Amino acid sequence: MMLDTSTKMSLMDITKIFSLLRPKEDEDEDGCQQLNKAIAEDDDQLLADLLSQERYRRCINSRSGWGIPSTPLKTAAAHGHLRCLERLLAHGAEVDSLDVKAQTPLFTAVSGKHLGCVSALLKAGADPNGSQYNNCSPLLTAAREGDVDILKELLYYGAETDVQAKVPDWASNATTCRGPLYIAAVYGHLDCFKLLLLHGADPDYNCKDKKILARIKRSNTVLDTCLKYGCQSEYIQLLIDFGANIYIPVVITEKTREQDQVIKLLLRERVFLFAVCPKTLMSQIRLAIRKYLSAAHKLDLIDELDIPQMLKNYLKHTT
């Protein structure tokens, strides 16, 4: 019997999970528990003493504990105990170790809003996109929680701005194809919304997966979503400034009818571009430069450009 790609992926995920559940033959359960106990109590000195012994160093990447067995590094990330986390990393802890839910220590630190641990893990080489086996991602989580500082760290280390949840084809729907911009808009996190656009998120982001599109009536762009959920005019203005297509069909709901300012802003921009003139040369140059820097993954180098500070601010949309 032939298996399609989604079925093969599911079987691979199950195999991975069972491999994580299966204890290693040489694991020292008591040693693992003592490491986790020291970490849970944030006893950095005790942890250092334990790790000075070979018996405990062998447990540094082992999983133990009730419920969902965790590595010592994930325990430190979950509690936000930065000193212990850095101690573990210095002794060679596996930075992207997985638990049975396919969550990395970074994902756990992001979920717990532990900025210091997030920064330390990223500096140590953690994958900013999390695990390929996990349905969610650190960036989606930060966008949902509205944690702009953690979002900034993830983006600085190269997290994918237009990432979407990974689910089997049979479970996909209109919700699963939404990216971080959608999430930031729906949850009302304007700072995160702007930050994502500043780091190259597609203002016209939309689902292009044919399998998902075949399962839903209509996929919505970010602009559609902002109007549908009654977002403030600042969201619409940002999409306009970042070059979103404003001529797409607009979903008018009761919420958008109540927001005359938003609708007027959008319609005024349409009329202005059609009847008067296109975007100003300055605006078009800004879009072109940002698009080029984004494609080269060098948006963070704007401050190093040999141009007046006023133009740097303009490129960063801070004026």
Q: What is the DSSP string of 99-121?
A: -TT---HHHHHHHTT-HHHHHHH
Q: Give every CB contact of residue 198 below 8 A, 6+ residues apart in sequence.
A: 299, 316, 317
Q: 57 or 4: whose pLDDT is higher? A: 57
The tens digit of pLDDT for each residue in 263-273 reads: 667 666 655 54
Q: 26 or 162: whose pLDDT is higher? A: 162
Q: What pTM was computed for the model?
A: 0.79
Residue 125 CA, distance from chain mean position = 16
How many other CB atoms are there within 10 angstroms of residue 233's CB atom? 15
The tens digit of pLDDT for each residue in 71-119 reads: 999 999 999 999 999 999 999 999 999 888 889 999 999 999 999 999 9
Determine the 3-state secondary structure of 7 from DSSP.
Answer: helix
Residue 68 DSSP one-character state: S
Mean pLDDT of the chain: 80
How many other CB atoms are there within 10 angstroms of residue 301's CB atom? 10
CA 72, CA 60: separation in Å to the nearest integer? 6
Determine the 3-state secondary structure of 288 from DSSP.
Answer: helix
pLDDT, position 66: 64
Q: 24 or 56: whose pLDDT is higher? A: 56
Lowest mean pLDDT among 15-24, 111-120, 144-153, 297-306: 15-24
Mean pLDDT value of segment 225-235: 87
pLDDT at 28 exceeding the cut of 70: no
Give the domains, in start order, of the chain with CATH numbers. Answer: 135-318 (1.25.40.20)
Q: Give every CB contact of residue 119 below 8 A, 6+ residues apart in sequence.
A: 153
- Binning the chain into helix, strand and coil, the percentages to the nearest 5 are 55, 0, 45
Cα three-residue angle 223-138-43, rounded to 5 degrees: 150
Determine the 3-state secondary structure of 296 from DSSP.
Answer: coil
Comparing CA positions, the residue from 112, 167, 174, 158 lying closest to residue 136 is: 167
Which pLDDT band holds residue 170 (cuts at 50, 70, 90)? low
Q: What is the 3-state secondary structure (H, E, C) of 218-279?
A: CCCCHHHHHHHCCCCHHHHHHHHHCCCCCCCCCCCCHHHHCCHHHHHHHHHHHHHHHHHCCC
pLDDT, position 117: 98
